[in-house]
């Protein structure tokens, strides 16, 4: 069991190095980003404990994926497997619990603790023995994989949007919708295998144009239910909701260009910080999109005809 956690730490350290960070800085900045994002969430809405608990549950459920737990079951004895699951869930839940305690949200902290312990005994994918139907089948990769990976978190955000409408709290609905759109943007961050790119006969500009069109259509398709519900409940705020959806499409485009500017490698620290800066100050998109578009076209010309 000890060797398992040592291996996990080595893998995380390697990811930090691939990202362009020394491991020590990677751990430090991860803590700073987590704390900063947590403070920002709690400063924006009084319903932050509910969102926070939902995010914690989403991370915990990732540890209960069937293939992952199946591998652990055949690798370790039953007692060791149970200890690993409990310890992993405790490690993931601990930062959320500590921050909730600092904010004196004791009920939410206890809820996250109970969720962490309870989820360790279950495999959440048991309920999905059959393939989950999606509207993304004809244009797979980013949104198809993202939707099936985060189906429970997406369902939770849908539910939270409904609660916001029911209690007439537009701010909660707006924060939830923004979190939902930000989750969608992350779908575009992972590069596909080189094999699939080599089998694409389109030139780089056509390939990227199709990627942007597909990401925009899929984003709207996935957002249409909460967007329409919020528009019907708050028609006077139509411009703000539509602006958020439009921004999400632009951020999808930027992240796609960033991804293919460094393909087949993953996004590095400088590109990540550039993307975060564009989220914090949207006018930077005016320079970021054409810059990374040009770089992605040049980079893809080595792989596409």
> First CA to last CA across the chain, in angstroms?
49
| Global confidence as pTM | 0.72
Relative orientation angle of helices 204-233 and 142-149, to the nearest 10 degrees = 40
Dihedral angle, C-alpha 142, 144, 146, 149, nearest 10 °: -150
Contact 45, 51 (CB under 8 A): yes
Interhelix angle 285-300/269-280, rounded to 10 degrees, is 150
What is the predicted pLDDT for the residue at 129? 45
Phi, psi of 102 (to 5 degrees): -60, -40
123 secondary structure, DSSP code:
-
Domains of the chain by residue range = 1-120, 141-301
List strand residue ranges (DSSP E) for 186-253, in order. none
Q: Please answer whether residues 185 and 252 qualify as being in contact, where contact means their C-beta atoms are separated by less than 8 angstroms.
A: yes
User: From CA 297, how far away is CA 294, in angstroms rounded?
Assistant: 5
Give average pLDDT by consecutive 10-residue segment, the chain, 305 residues.
Answer: 83 79 85 87 80 84 80 84 88 92 91 88 56 59 76 83 87 86 85 76 88 90 91 92 94 93 83 88 93 93 80
């Amino acid at each position: 069991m000890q060797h398992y956690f040592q291996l996990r730490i080595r893998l995380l350290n390697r990811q930090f190095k691939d990202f362009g960070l020394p491991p020590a800085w990677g751990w430090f900045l991860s803590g700073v980003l987590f704390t900063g994002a947590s403070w920002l969430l709690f400063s924006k809405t009084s319903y932050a404990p509910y969102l926070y608990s939902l995010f914690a549950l989403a991370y915990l459920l990732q540890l209960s994926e069937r293939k992952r737990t199946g591998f652990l079951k055949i690798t370790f004895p039953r007692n060791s497997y149970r200890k690993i699951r409990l310890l992993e869930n405790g490690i993931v839940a601990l930062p959320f619990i500590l921050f909730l305690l600092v904010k004196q949200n004791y009920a939410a902290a206890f809820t996250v603790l109970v969720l962490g312990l309870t989820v360790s005994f279950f495999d959440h994918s048991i309920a999905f023995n059959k393939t989950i139907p999606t509207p993304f089948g004809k244009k797979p990769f980013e949104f198809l994989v993202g939707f099936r990976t985060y189906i429970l978190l997406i369902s939770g955000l849908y539910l939270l949007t409904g609660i916001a409408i029911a209690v007439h709290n537009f701010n909660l609905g707006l924060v939830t919708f923004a979190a939902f759109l930000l989750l969608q943007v992350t779908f575009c961050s992972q590069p596909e295998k080189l094999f699939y790119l080599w089998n694409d006969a389109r030139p780089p500009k056509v390939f990227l144009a199709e990627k942007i069109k597909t990401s925009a259509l899929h984003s709207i398709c996935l957002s249409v239910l909460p967007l329409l519900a919020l528009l019907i409940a708050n028609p006077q705020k139509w411009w703000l909701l539509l602006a958020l959806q439009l921004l999400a499409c632009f951020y999808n485009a930027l992240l796609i260009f960033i991804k293919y500017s460094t393909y087949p490698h993953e996004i590095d620290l400088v590109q990540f910080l550039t993307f975060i800066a564009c989220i914090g100050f949207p006018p930077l998109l005016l320079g970021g999109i054409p810059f990374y578009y040009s770089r992605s076209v040049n980079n893809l010309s080595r792989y596409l005809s």
